[in-house]
């Protein structure tokens, strides 16, 4: 088991107060907090070796390029990609999915084709597909889920046909916590010749990821859900597929040669990285990966699971008017719920007054909320630095709120 008190010391923000109370940060599903090593990396870069990457013949450019490319290697190992060229830096999960939709989708979809997503997808794994589907005359079809919040696998299998070109599903749901059986989904989709994209925004920092073993065609995630900076992320794609895809954006870095007679494109990964990249945040992202490696993803996940179990049981026992939304067998550390006769937003505001940060609303999953006939939920999402005492404070807060509305 990890030493949570030691882990907390790595995060400057965790010793601050909000509204006169120690911060209890339960909004990790939206973005998690940053350890000092990540924050320091940004300052060190800007103060010590700020320079553009790849092009310079000087010391600073060399140093920046080395640190920048180091993150690619760290990510390659982190998800066990066969080659570092298969890691494309993006601004996050959203950009990764749009990139695939606008390149792979643009060249491989035609009229009548189908794209399968699940009902529990984040909007960023729905809308990019709707945009390309509208352009190509394809359709986006939702895979139904059960009341517990699990994909109904038999329904998914029934939807598979040779019309299905892409299956794009979330690994772990940000709104319910459900961990989807992506191995089985990938295997079944491949049997019909479809390519599979896994949205790993909520899984990369919590679940073991081996893209070669999974055999997914694409995997996307965001640095800011992995103790790294915002506006940064990555796309993994199988080399052969990425090589066949046209570029996404045009500009510097992604070219081999430009002339008015025609332009040739750079090799992977640069073909998909037009323009000056987000250098500082990429370097800091590398520090976040090292941080996860140092503390151990499995060890952190074990603590998160214990926190989730404790919070779930305590909520059921002490707040009987709460209804949990999403009770899948296999979950990451997300506890979504509503409380009878009290508006989600009021709960969020009143918890905030006690220094407790949770998220309320639709969590960018409106079709999922519609599935449950809800506008939104209250979501507490935990990280490895959260404590049992914080859960006690949270439940105590909820009990008071229920009494007040009594």
Catalog residues that contact ligand PMP under the rule CB under 6 A.
92-94, 122, 124-125, 170, 174, 199, 201-202, 222, 364
We find the least distance from the C-beta atom of residue 405 to ligand PMP, in angstroms, to be 29
Nearer Cβ to ligand PMP (92/397): 92
Angle ∠(377,90,178) on CA atoms, nearest 5:
30
Nearer Cβ to ligand PMP (124/386): 124
Nearer Cβ to ligand PMP (24/125): 125
> Catalytic residue among 175, 364, 384, 401, which?
364
216 in active site: no
We find the least distance from the C-beta atom of residue 20 to ligand PMP, in angstroms, to be 29
We find the least distance from the C-beta atom of residue 171 to ligand PMP, in angstroms, to be 8
CA–CA gap between residue 143 and residue 116 (Å, rounded): 7
The size of the chain, in residues, is: 406
Per-residue tokens: 195? 């390519």
Per-residue tokens: 191? 């049997």
Nearer Cβ to ligand PMP (124/282): 124
Nearest to 85 by CA among 304, 241, 198: 241
Contact 166, 129 (CB under 8 A): yes
We find the least distance from the C-beta atom of residue 281 to ligand PMP, in angstroms, to be 12
The neighbour count for residue 76, using CB atoms within 10 Å, is 19
Nearest to 19 by CA among 393, 399, 405: 393
Nearer Cβ to ligand PMP (8/123): 123
We find the least distance from the C-beta atom of residue 256 to ligand PMP, in angstroms, to be 29
CA–CA gap between residue 304 and residue 252 (Å, rounded): 43
The secondary structure of residue 126, as a DSSP letter, is: T
We find the least distance from the C-beta atom of residue 358 to ligand PMP, in angstroms, to be 14
Nearer Cβ to ligand PMP (23/127): 127
CA–CA gap between residue 197 and residue 190 (Å, rounded): 11
Helix-strand-coil percent breakdown of the chain, rounded to 5?
Answer: 45, 20, 35
Q: What is the DSSP string of 293-334?
A: HHH-HHHHHHHHHHHHHHHHHHHHHH-TTEEES---SSB-SE
HSE-up (13 A, CA, CB side) for residue 73: 6
292-306 burial string, b = 16+ CB within 10 Å, else e? beebebeebbebbee
Q: Any idea which residues carry the catalytic annotation?
A: 364
């Amino acid at each position: 088991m990890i030493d949570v008190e030691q882990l907390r010391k790595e995060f400057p923000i965790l010793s601050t107060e909000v509204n006169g109370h120690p911060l209890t940060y339960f909004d990790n599903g939206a973005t998690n907090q940053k350890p000092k090593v990540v924050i320091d990396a940004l300052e060190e870069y800007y103060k010590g070796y700020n320079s553009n990457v790849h092009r310079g013949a000087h010391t600073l450019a060399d140093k920046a390029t080395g640190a920048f490319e180091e993150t690619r290697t760290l990510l390659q190992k982190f998800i066990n990609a066969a080659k570092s060229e298969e890691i494309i830096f993006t601004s996050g999960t959203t950009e990764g999915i749009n990139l695939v939709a606008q390149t792979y989708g643009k060249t491989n979809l035609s009229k009548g084709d189908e794209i399968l997503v699940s009902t529990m997808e984040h909007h960023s794994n729905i809308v990019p597909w709707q945009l390309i589907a509208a352009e190509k005359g394809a359709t986006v079809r939702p895979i139904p889920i059960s009341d517990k919040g699990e994909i109904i696998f038999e329904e998914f299998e029934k939807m598979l046909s040779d019309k299905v070109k892409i299956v794009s599903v979330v690994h772990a749901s940000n709104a319910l916590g459900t961990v989807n059986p992506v191995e089985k989904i990938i295997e079944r989709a491949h049997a019909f010749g479809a390519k599979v994209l896994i949205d790993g925004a909520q899984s990369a920092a919590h679940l073991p990821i081996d893209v070669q073993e999974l055999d997914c065609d694409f995997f996307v995630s965001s640095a800011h859900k992995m103790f790294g900076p915002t506006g940064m992320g990555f796309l993994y794609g199988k080399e052969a597929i990425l090589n066949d895809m046209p570029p996404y954006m045009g500009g510097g870095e992604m070219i081999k040669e430009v002339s008015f007679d025609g332009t040739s494109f750079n090799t992977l990964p640069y073909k998909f990285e037009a323009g000056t990249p987000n250098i500082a945040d990429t370097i800091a992202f590398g520090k976040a990966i090292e941080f996860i490696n140092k503390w151990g993803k499995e060890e952190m996940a074990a603590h998160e699971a214990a926190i989730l179990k404790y919070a779930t049981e305590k909520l059921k026992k002490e707040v009987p008017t709460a209804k949990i939304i999403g009770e899948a067998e296999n979950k990451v550390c997300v506890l979504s719920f509503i409380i009878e006769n009290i508006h989600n937003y009021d709960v969020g505001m009143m918890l905030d007054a006690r220094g407790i940060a949770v998220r309320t609303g639709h969590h960018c999953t409106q079709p999922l909320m519609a599935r449950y006939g809800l506008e939104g939920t209250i979501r507490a999402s935990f990280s490895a630095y959260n404590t049992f005492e914080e859960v006690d404070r949270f439940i105590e807060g909820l009990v008071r709120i229920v009494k007040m509305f009594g």
